[in-house]
Amino acid sequence: MSCKERVRAAVEARREEVNDAIDEQLPLARPERLYEASRYLLTAGGKRLRPTLLLLVAEALTDTDPQTQPYRSFPDLTDEPVDLMSGAVSIEVIQSFTLIHDDIMDDDDLRRGVPSVHREYDVGTAILAGDTLYSKAFEYMLETGAPPDRQVRALDELATTCTEICEGQAFDVEFEGRGDVTTDEYMEMVELKTAVLYAAAAAIPAILLGADDETVDALHQYGIDIGRAFQIHDDVLDLTTPSEKLGKQRGSDLVEGKRTAITLHAREQGVDIESLVDTDDPEAVTEATIDEAVAELESVGSIQFASDLAEEHVENGKQRLQRLPDNEARSLLEDIADFLITREY
């Protein structure tokens, strides 16, 4: 099996249980419209990659064979039961909250193939649904049954992560109006907006199960590394994947004038990135214009640069896993890292 097939199998093997847990912990309570809106995106799909990551870290760390222990009472490093699944649901719920609020801010109409929450309901309900998921995520993280000192650390990781995601989103918005963003600034934004939630998904199971500080830190960094790689690969895909596969216009980042690892590198090579594509008239941009722009970015090595950068982060991330016992779950965590930069859309 390829790494992609192994990751898909690992995710699929856990998806139903994760979905059931979400249903259990976020039932359709009163007020019904609020909980319907809060559940809407969560039940519309999603790979459940972050919950899978969290569960695999637990399996790798405790050296247990994947899926042989119940996630609701998973033996920690001293053999005491922890409700890991509640932590996994917490992370997925945070992801969902950020998507709902981001879609309002970006006024995106579609998400996971269905109307975004503020389109299906209204802006007020979408704000409130996101706010509800936000506190619910903290409630779920408080239901793991782990010893109090570990719960405090897990909640600290969760709260800091949420603050950083907000900061990342704010930088993203700020950068759209700035012509002088550096690659370093861009990478900081990516770390905050995208990578920290992977870091939380990887570090929190280690915290809950009682791992030592070095292991927690290594797993956090693994998450940061693969999260950065994920975003850079996304930037590459936007230019290199045919529109029909991508599910959106190829080159949309260029059309929208977004800064990416690729355009920022090109600018450093002397390319006038503002003139690559006419961003004043997005409707008029042709496939041929995108082809030309991509050719220019290729000629100065910017696409190769981004691909290499993503791969470098993946390799760093995989190195961090050396602190874990050598087992099947750890090997799947390596596969997830590889998967993030080999996926085609």
Note the residues at the interface with a second copy (CB under 8 A).
Answer: 30-31, 33-34, 101, 104-105, 123-125, 127-128, 130-132, 134-136, 138-139, 142, 147-149, 151-152, 155-156, 158-160, 162-163, 166-167, 169-171, 173-174
* CB 317 to a second copy: min, Å: 25
* CB 85 to a second copy: min, Å: 18
* CB 217 to a second copy: min, Å: 19
Kindly tell me which of 124 and 247 has the beta carbon lying closer to a second copy. Answer: 124
* CB 328 to a second copy: min, Å: 34
Kindly tell me which of 135 and 182 has the beta carbon lying closer to a second copy. Answer: 135
CB proximity list for 170: less than 8 A, separation 6 or greater: none
The tokens for 264 are 């920022």
* CB 259 to a second copy: min, Å: 15
* CB 111 to a second copy: min, Å: 16
Cβ proximity of 162 and 94 under 8 Å: yes
Kindly tell me which of 110 and 159 has the beta carbon lying closer to a second copy. Answer: 159
Q: How far apart are CA 293 and CA 37, in angstroms?
A: 41
Kindly tell me which of 94 and 336 has the beta carbon lying closer to a second copy. Answer: 94
* CB 30 to a second copy: min, Å: 8
Q: Is 114 helix (H, G, I), strand (E, B) or coil?
A: strand
Q: Hey, which residues does 115 pair with through a beta bridge? A: 110
Kindly tell me which of 14 and 220 has the beta carbon lying closer to a second copy. Answer: 220
Kindly tell me which of 25 and 241 has the beta carbon lying closer to a second copy. Answer: 25
Kindly tell me which of 75 and 145 has the beta carbon lying closer to a second copy. Answer: 145
Cβ proximity of 243 and 249 under 8 Å: yes
Cβ proximity of 207 and 150 under 8 Å: yes
Closest by CA to 68, choosing from 326, 327, 333, is: 327
What do you get for the CA distance between the two ends of the chain, in Å?
19
Using CA atoms of 172, 158, 52, 228 in order, give the dihedral in degrees to the nearest 10: 30
Q: What is the CA radius of gyration of the chain?
A: 20
Q: Phi/psi at 251 (nearest 5 deg)? A: 80, 15
How many CB atoms neighbour CB 246 within 10 A?
17
* CB 245 to a second copy: min, Å: 30
Kindly tell me which of 122 and 212 has the beta carbon lying closer to a second copy. Answer: 122
CA 334 to chain centre: 16
* CB 285 to a second copy: min, Å: 25
The tokens for 88 are 């996994």
Reported as type and span, the H/E element at residue 189 is helix 183-190
SS (HEC) of 240-271: HCCHHHHCCCCCHHHHCCCCCHHHHHHHHCCC
Cβ proximity of 168 and 199 under 8 Å: no
Kindly tell me which of 100 and 262 has the beta carbon lying closer to a second copy. Answer: 100
